[in-house]
Amino acid sequence: MCVVAHPDDECFGFGGALALAADHGVETYVICLTDGQAATHRGSAASGKELGQTRRAEFAASCKVLGVGRHELLGYHDGDLQNVAFMEPAEALVCRMRQFRPDVVITFGGDGGLNTHADHMMTSFWTTAAFHWSGQAKRLPDVGEIYQPERLFYLTTNFFIPDRQPPLPSPWTITLNIESVRERKNEAFRQHVSQAPLMERTKELFAKFGAEEFYTLAASREPGPSTQMSSLFDGLDQPE
C-alpha cells in the first residue's frame, strides 16, 4: 500500500517501487488524498474543479502504467491538508489497511519530500498513525478487523532540488535499483499531461539521479539496529 498526497506523487516519488512490486506479483494499492486542484501547473483547466477532474484521469492512467492493482482518490482539498482534523484521514486509512491488509506500507517521510510540501508531511503523519493504529485493538475498534501491516517505509532522497530550501531527509535503509522499470516510471509521469512543465523542469535531475529510489524502514515487527535491505519485501513471503 502506498499513500500519497497528489496525483503524480505515485510516479514521481514511488513509481519505481510500485512497478517493481507489480513485476514481482505483489498486489499494490495507491491511495491519494487530494485530486491536485491547487497545482501550480494547470494545463488547460479553467477551474480548480476541472483541473481536479483532469488530474483524476491522469492519476488513473499513471497507476495503470505502473501496474497498480487498485487506486483510490480520497478528495481532500489540495494544499490544505494541515487544516484537516487529524482523525478523519487517519481513520480512513486505518479502515483501508484493515480491509486491504498490506504487508508493506510506503509513504513520504516527515520532511515532506524533495519540495517539503506540507501536504506530503501530513500524509506521512496520518499514514504513520494509521499504520500503528490499524494493529491496535484499542484504536478505532469499530473500524474493520484489527490488522497489523509488517513494515512502514518512508521515501527519502540522496539529492536536493537546486535553489530550494532542502528537506532534512531520513537516512535510507534501502537503495532500490529501479533501472529495470525506469522507463515505465517516466511513462507514468508522462500520463500527467497537465504537469508536463514540471517534468521538463526536473528532467535533468531525474536523468542524473533517477536510477534509484531510497527508502527508510520506519517501523517493523523485529526490534534491532537498522540494516541495509535490498528490497521492501526482504524476508517476507511473497509471490515469485
Please tell me the distance from the alpha carbon of residue 167 to that of residue 60, in angstroms, as a whole number: 29
Residue 130 near residue 90, CB atoms below 8 Å: yes
9 contacts Zn ion (rule: CB under 5 A): yes
Query: Which of 1, 6, 28, 58 is in the footprint of Zn ion by CB under 5 A?
Result: 6
Smallest gap from Cβ 9 to Zn ion, in A, equals 4
Stretch that binds Zn ion, among 4-12, 38-46, 84-92, 225-233 (CB under 5 A): 4-12
CB nearer Zn ion, residue 127 or residue 134: 127
Cross-strand bridge partners of residue 106: 2, 153
| Tally of CB atoms within 10 A around 192 | 27
Residue nearest to Zn ion (CB): 6
Q: Interface with Zn ion includes 96 (CB under 5 A)?
A: no
User: CB under 5 A: which stretch of 1-9, 81-89, 151-159, 162-170 binds Zn ion?
Assistant: 1-9
- Work out how close the CB of 74 gets to Zn ion at its nearest, in angstroms, rounded to a whole number: 14
Task: Point out which span in 8-16, 20-28, 153-161, 206-214 binds Zn ion (CB under 5 A).
Answer: 8-16
In this chain, which stretch among 9-17, 20-28, 45-53, 94-102 interacts with Zn ion, using CB under 5 A? 9-17
| Number of residues forming the site for Zn ion (CB under 5 A) | 3
In order of 140, 142, 151, the CA distances from 203 in angstroms are: 43, 46, 32
The rounded distance, in Å, linking the Cα atoms of 134 and 94 is: 5
Cα separation, 195 vs 201, whole angstroms: 10
- CB of 6 or CB of 184, closer to Zn ion: 6
> In the complex with Zn ion, which residue's Cβ is closer, 59 or 153?
59
**Buried/exposed 159-183: b ≥16 CB within 10 Å, e otherwise:** eeeeeeeebebbebbbebebeebbe
Asked if residue 35 binds Zn ion (CB under 5 A), the reply is no
**Which residues within the stretch 163-222 sit at the binding site for Zn ion (CB under 5 A)?**
none
The residue ranges that bind Zn ion (CB under 5 A) are: 5-6, 9
